[in-house]
Copies of this chain bind each other. A is one copy, B any other.
Amino acid sequence: MADLVLADWLDGERDRIVETLLAWLRIPSISAHADRASDVRRSAEFAAAVMTGAGLEHVALVETDGLPAVYGDWRHAGADAPTVLVYGHHDVQPVEPLDEWRSPPFEPVIVDGECLARGAIDDKGQVLYEIEAVRGLLAETGGLPVNLKFLVEGEEEIGSPNFEALLAAERARLAADVIVVSDTGMWAADVPSICVGMRGLVAFDVTLRTAAGDLHSGVFGGAVPNPAHLVASIVARLHDESGRVTVPGFYDDVRPLDAAEADSLARLAFDEAAWRANAGVARTEGEAGYSVLERTTVRPTCDVVGIGVGYTGPGIKTIVPATGGFKVTFRLVPDQRPPAVADAFESWLRSRVPDGVEVEIEPEGPGVAPLVTDVTEPAIGALAAAIERVWGTTPLFTREGGSGPEESLGRMLAAPVLFLGVGLPGDRIHAPNERMVMDQFWKGLLAAAELWRELGDLGRSGLRGG
């Protein structure tokens, strides 16, 4: 890798960078927990300090109606150089169930070349290598080949409720020719890949109430509505026997996969046994007529993420519970629209709740639209070249099953979205024992610098295909 611009520089910096990573990961910036708001702010301030130290300018927290983002830039590459906006986030997922972690989620450790902590790969690690690539290029070359802007969000893990407002308010400051999102993964450590699409997301918190209070199951059981039975019957009917979502019209706007992408999907070697082992499952399920790969990337899905009804503590409590509910997420693909799916779900759900039972349907954020980037964009070629130089292999194109605010970014800033992400399938994001493979982290740092060189070589005109 001697031809990589930051290879030599990096050799002297690894210990310092690791210390920075671990310090950031110690901050429990869980955006879903209101009582962690000060920790999320502390995480933003930490990111700001690292950005300033790296040589970025105009570094500042960007306040929202919720939790703060962080901005910083370096704009001395000249008017002909492209402007690149790097996007990531500094908030993290909750950590329950705590007892399944091999080490505490906010006491990061590096074991066998893996960094184990909440936020290691999603997304502090992926933000940090972008920032450190700036520091390296400034140190090695005295400048950057592109004008760079960073936007590090603080509410990504709660569905980015204030992100569109932030983009609208900061449109001028954030204007860019290309957006680089650093929050995704690759097919495998030895099969580098480029994400060209992400699924959208809508999520709901549903609560039912059948009685004023819990009732004795011997005295009232068998004659009063039981929210456990009702929640179960609703959740059980979300899918039909063939694994398809039953909400009317759910599939109406799904764009058929075009031949080129279907071909690309087919070329990805998929070892289902290895996939199951990595997932830690003994069986696969899902929509009939589609492969595991299709189900997890190009097909829309519905998963209930939690059910809570009645008594779940130790022993038994002989009650008929009074309330209960569930949380459900829908992953969307082009051209499904979050508001249409939300409306269809709410109508379907209300039709399943009998008279005399109260129901509350609380949307979790405004939803995220699905995103697909055109593979003929010149910027995609630049990213492919950068990745090939670092990993030594031509990357394949994939779609991610996950969802993020990237669709808003591309749409509101009117720029193509590139995904440079080094996550791997076994990283256990959102789950206990989240990890980041350190070798991927270092490669990500090197690739970020290579990508900016490629984009600088293209120039603004080249980026536009001119």
Contacts and interface: CB of A to CB of B under 8 A. Distances in A.
Contacts of A309: 304, 306-308
Contact of A317 (B215, B287, B306): B306
Interface stretch (A2-10, A169-177, A231-239): A231-239
A319 B311 CA distance: 23
Interface stretch (A69-77, A336-344, A398-406): A398-406
Given A307-B310, A322-B280, A430 B222 contact: no
A282 B355 contact: yes
Instruction: Please give the count of copies of this chain that the complex contains.
Output: 2
Contacts of A364: 315-316
Interface string A94-117: 101100100000000000000000
A331 B217 contact: yes
Interface string A24-64: 00000001111000000000000000000000000000000
A235 B316 CA distance: 17
Interface residues of A, number: 102
A93 interface: yes
Given A223-B292, A285-B223, A312 B317 contact: no
A356 B222 contact: no
A293 to B, nearest CB: 8
Interface stretch (A135-143, A199-207, A458-466): A199-207
Interface stretch (A82-90, A247-255, A295-303, A437-445): A295-303
Complex A-B, nearest 3 residue pairs according to Cβ-Cβ distance, in ascending order: A212-B280, A218-B402, A222-B301
